[in-house]
Amino acid sequence: MPRELLLQVSPETAANDALLKTHLSKHSGIAEAEIAHVVVLKRSIDARQKAIKINLKLEVYLKDEPFSSQKIQLPDYPNVENAPEVIVIGAGPAGLFAALQLIECGLKPIVIERGKDVRGRRRDLKAINQDGIVNPESNYCFGEGGAGTYSDGKLYTRSKKRGDVDRILKLFVAFGASPDILVEAHPHIGTNKLPKIISDMRETIIEHGGKVLFETRVDDIVVKQNEVQGIVTNTGDVIHANKIILATGHSARDIFEMLDRKKILIEAKPFALGVRAEHPQELIDKIQYSCDYRGEFLPPAPYAVVKQVNGRGMYSFCMCPGGVIAPCATAPGEVVTNGWSPSKRDQATANSGIVVELKPEDFKPFAKFGALAGVEFQRSIEQRAWHLAGETQRAPAQRMVDFSQGKVSANIPKTSYVPGTTSIELGNVFPGFITQILREGFVEFGKSMRGYFTNEAILHAPESRTSSPVRIPRDTQTLEHPQIKGLYPCGEGAGYAGGIVSAAIDGEKCALMIVQALSR
Ligand code: FAD
């Protein structure tokens, strides 16, 4: 029987198999020559002390113990070409994992995606970065793989159900992600690796008899006697099905508007909004690792910070070490920021959303929009940012200390945000209460992370698509919309997920509910 051991080692030892074996032998009393294989089960960084340590959970095989390294395989998907059809709207993580789960259970998904496949999408990302042209159907949020395709691909979630998370991570590995994501405490995939994984998922769906329609926008849902009958596309085509998974993400404002117009219940929900801060990665390394130089054995440091300011939470969100700030608008006439990193996280800067939690009461000035008040609040800030920065995809920007002191920055250095920045007073972008909390909060952040509050940090506005401003209600047991039979609101846009893994878990959950309903 292999034995499991917990070990704390230096970063250098953790990165070198021979050193690790020697250390393990000393620590466990097992003769080095007896150790045949060492498998890392879990790895995390302990940066609480000056000498940074790596915590390892190891599985140790001795010479006479059988050992086989198992490759993680895809499930044995059946062919579903002639099986009952389920419409899945949206090919983000929720939609794709729902489609794969449906196939696994013998149902045929028809995935309908307004955007292009990952390859076609790239051209539109170039256009928004280089020419400031936003294609409202194909951008950083819309297209194959959804909002997560060109992201850092962080795969951690607050989900308490470890089994669900492991299942999603294993599927990612089976589709080509590094098995390291099963081991790391904070796994991520990276923008350079995600598109191939996503397109392999689509190929698998098609190979097994599912359908994937790109550049096809769902404009309406057909409902008869409170039961779904199908959908209407932007070309007027009707596709029939009496089970629909609605996984259109947090930026599909037209879907929220369509539901509201049809008097299908939706609700305003709290979300968060603020800025994206960019620091030199070296500075974040110094703060987080308490050292002058990170060295070759530690990864670029992440950070997570949260404070209560004026009775509200202000916190870092979607932090990207060694990353790039991306223009994430989904319509012309608005500016939206977010961030991504390549798998090596080897860019010179670290960026993070720094956001203030919002409550539906904050959307009062937009009360006439009812359940869409949060959407309009969000939109008004994004449009103001666009207007104030010069009506291109340039982002309004300010140095951090200048912002806290209400002073327009004399200059803004080139940042990772490719469309460029315009130096303005960011207080003009936000309602006063958000500005006030951000101003005070950055000073507080600087107290817990010495060096963080600096004019070397550039704030870009706004970070506004943190989660959905709308919830589409669903029955807690059946996951169907309480008024409309056969409609399954799913993923981040419906308010049931907050990231790639949780959206994927929710997609699988909705698919399984449909399987259950059809087997009754
Ligand atoms: P989405 O991914 O938003 O997918 C919805 C899909 O529906 C889209 O492809 C859209 O085109 C399609 N759609 C919308 N309307 C229609 C319609 N009418 N008809 C047909 N199709 C439609 N999360 C993490 O966990 N880790 C990260 O590192 C991370 N980084 C991110 C970086 C960026 C730049 C962005 C934008 C997001 C990032 N996120 C990250 C968030 C993550 O991407 C989302 O939480 C996740 O993608 C939500 O999944 P979803 O399937 O619910 O929705």
DSSP for 142-208? SSTTGGGTTS--B-----S-HHHHHHHHHHHHHTT--GGGGTBSS-B--TTTHHHHHHHHHHHHHHT
**How many Å separate Cα 441 from the centre of its chain?**
24
95 ligand 1 Cβ < 6 A: yes
Q: What is the tens place of the pLDDT at every residue in 157-178? A: 876 677 799 999 999 999 999 9
- Does position 143 have pLDDT exceeding 80, yes or no? yes
147 ligand 1 Cβ < 6 A: yes
Q: Under a CB-based contact definition with an 8 Å cutoff, are residues 94 and 492 in contact?
A: yes
The angle, 0 to 180 degrees and rounded to 10, between the axes of the packed helices 253-261 and 373-388 is 140
253 ligand 1 Cβ < 6 A: no
Boundaries of CATH 3.50.50.60 in the chain? 85-266+472-518
Please tell me the predicted confidence (pLDDT) of residue 159.
Answer: 67
Quick count: other Cβ atoms within 10 Å of Cβ 471? 19
284 ligand 1 Cβ < 6 A: no
Please tell me the predicted confidence (pLDDT) of residue 520.
Answer: 83
Q: What is the tens place of the pLDDT at every residue in 30-52? A: 999 999 999 999 999 999 888 89
What topology does CATH give the domain 3-62? Alpha-Beta Plaits (3.30.70)
187 ligand 1 Cβ < 6 A: no
Residue burial 290-314, b: 16+ Cβ < 10 Å; e: rest: ebeebeeebbbbbbebebebeebeb
Please tell me the predicted confidence (pLDDT) of residue 484.
Answer: 98
Nearest CA to ligand 1 atom 10: 142
Q: H/E/C letters for each residue in 31-78?
A: CHHHEEEEEEEEEEEECCCCCCEEEEEEEEEECCCCCCCCCCCCCCCC
277 ligand 1 Cβ < 6 A: no
Nearest CA to ligand 1 atom 43: 148
Boundaries of CATH 3.30.70 in the chain? 3-62
Residue 17 gets the label, from left (phi > 0), alpha (psi -120 to 50) or beta, of: alpha
Paired tokens of 22: 């020697």
Ranking 69-73, 295-299, 443-447 by mean pLDDT, the lowest is 69-73
Q: How far are the Cα atoms of 99, 231, 261, 262 from residue 222, in angstroms, in the given order? A: 21, 5, 13, 10
| Long-range contacts of residues 357-364, Cβ cutoff 8 Å, at least 24 apart | 357/270, 357/272, 357/312, 357/313, 357/314, 357/315, 358/270, 358/271, 358/272, 358/273, 359/270, 360/268, 360/269, 360/270, 362/431, 362/433, 363/268
- Report the relative pairing of strands 272-280 and 458-463 from DSSP bridges: antiparallel
Paired tokens of 265: 């219940």
Report the chain's terminal Cα–Cα distance, integer Å: 45
Of 221, 220, 247, the closest CA to residue 109 belongs to 247
Paired tokens of 203: 């190929």
Please tell me the predicted confidence (pLDDT) of residue 85.
Answer: 98
217 ligand 1 Cβ < 6 A: yes
Question: 351 CA to middle of ligand 1, Å?
Answer: 19
Report yes or no on whether pTM surpasses 0.95.
yes
Q: What is the tens place of the pLDDT at every residue in 389-430? A: 999 999 999 999 999 999 999 999 999 999 999 999 999 999
Q: What is the tens place of the pLDDT at every residue in 375-386? A: 999 999 999 999
Q: What is the tens place of the pLDDT at every residue in 247-266? A: 999 999 999 999 999 999 99
Nearest CA to ligand 1 atom 30: 151
> What architecture (CATH level 2) is domain 85-266+472-518?
3-Layer(bba) Sandwich (3.50)
Q: What ipTM score was computed for the predicted complex, to two decimals? A: 0.99
The Cα–Cα gap between 397 and 459 comes to 5
Tell me the mean pLDDT in the region 188-212: 96
Question: 216 CA to middle of ligand 1, Å?
Answer: 16
The Cα–Cα gap between 386 and 125 comes to 18
- From 125, 139, 142, the mutation candidate for ligand 1 (largest count of ligand atoms within 8 A of CB) is 142
- Does position 471 have pLDDT exceeding 90, yes or no? yes
The Cα–Cα gap between 159 and 264 comes to 29
Tell me the mean pLDDT in the region 315-336: 97
Q: H or E stretch including 506?
A: helix 500-518
The Cα–Cα gap between 279 and 259 comes to 41
190 ligand 1 Cβ < 6 A: no
113 ligand 1 Cβ < 6 A: yes
3-state secondary structure of 212: strand
With the CA atoms of 352, 353, 354 and 356 taken in that order, what torsion angle do they form, in degrees rounded to the nearest 10? -160
Which amino acid is present at 377?
F
121 ligand 1 Cβ < 6 A: no
Based on the number of CB atoms within 10 Å of its own CB, is 153 exposed (0-12), middle (13-18) or buried (19 or more)?
A: buried
